[in-house]
Amino acid sequence: MRDADQTISWSELLRETEAIIGDRAHARWICETATSSTPDEFRAMLDQPAGERAVGHLDAMVARYRTGEPIQYVLGSWGFRRLDLAVDRRVLIPRPETEQLAEMAIEKAATFGPTRTVADLGTGSGAIGLSIADELPIEGTTVWLTDASDDALAVAQANLAGLGRAAINVRIAHGSWFDALPDDVMFDVIVSNPPYVADGSVELEPIVADWEPTSALLSGSDGLDDIEVIVAGAPARLRPGGWLLLEHGHDQGDSVRALLEVAGFVDVETKRDLADLDRITAGRRP
Ligand code: GLN
């Protein structure tokens, strides 16, 4: 316990936080966030006395962490490729495998010119679509972000505001999959990390199931309900030669490839994630 009238240094608070939460990296990130400082800035202030506001913020974050809340939500922001994204319980936490999906979408979209039009369906925090807008040329790029959740779009909108100059290339639209998009816009690349976990799946970890939005995770008895809708609708919205890229479960590669082939896609291919599991399938409209 700390005395209210006693000053305490950040190095003492860091040690105390490590002891309470039992994870050194997480303790450090929480202290950095409490002081709104970068890792270097925080190192430079270890000997300094902590201010009241920062300690209040620290205590609130530690209390949340101790309830089991994921570190990303406790911090309120998380890195995704070049972006630092606001994240909270309204959106899925951006994951490393989705960074690979964004990279593939960027590579595909970069082959189109002088203009390229991309849709990120079910954008959540905006991670995929905002990275695409951020990493493609400002000139000629348009990226549509959609979501059926108004809550999610509020987070995507906040992250768009932090994007800088590329924000002029981004459009946000509310609605379910293709329903969100204007009828007269055609796309060179359609990308999505849709819900793909089977209802009642035992593979969903409790920290995911208990904290992340169910609507971003579950998709029917085999987890394929939303992927089926997206694959069925994509050919009519892709320009000839345009690409569809989907994230999916490690055991859904065969099913997703079959769905794309039945829908007429060519060059259908599944990529593995960092854990060497099937994770992303892409196909091209002939
Ligand atoms: N990869 C997530 C998980 O299993 C699921 C993400 C999703 O359904 N889009 O934790």
CA dist list (Å): 233 to 71, 237, 256, 265: 36, 7, 14, 12
Distance 231 CA to ligand 1 centre (A): 18
pLDDT (0 to 100) of residue 4 = 59
Residue 151: name the closest of 124, 172, 178 by CA: 124
Confidence label for 7 from pLDDT (cuts 50, 70 and 90): confident
Shortest-distance Cα residue to atom 3 of ligand 1: 204
List the one residue out of 286, 224, 284 whose CA is nearest residue 254: 224
Q: Quick one: tokens of 68?
A: 């089991």
At residue 1 the predicted structure's pLDDT band, cuts being 50, 70 and 90, is low
* Residue 247 Cα to ligand 1 middle (Å): 9
Q: What angle do CA 127, 128, 133 make, to 5 degrees?
A: 100
Distance 98 CA to ligand 1 centre (A): 10
pLDDT digits (tens, 9 = 90+) for 112-166: 999 999 999 999 999 999 999 999 999 999 999 999 999 999 999 999 999 999 9
* Test site for ligand 1: of 121, 192, 217, 224, most ligand atoms within 8 A of the Cβ: 217
- The whole-chain average pLDDT of the chain stands at 97
Is 177 in contact with 229 (CB distance < 8 Å)? yes
Average pLDDT of span 269-280: 97
Tell which residue, 226, 285, 238, has the closest CA to residue 260: 285
Q: Which protein residues touch ligand 1 with a CB less than 6 Å away?
A: 95, 193, 195-197, 208, 217
pTM assigned to the model: 0.96
Quote the pLDDT of residue 242: 98
Q: How confident is the model over 178-213, as pLDDT tens digits?
A: 999 999 999 999 999 999 999 999 999 999 999 999
**Pick from 141, 173, 142, 179: nearest CA to 157:** 173
User: What pLDDT, on the 0 to 100 scale, is given for residue 214?
Assistant: 97
Tell me the C-alpha distance between 14 and 207, whole Å: 25
Q: Rounded mean pLDDT of 86-108?
A: 98
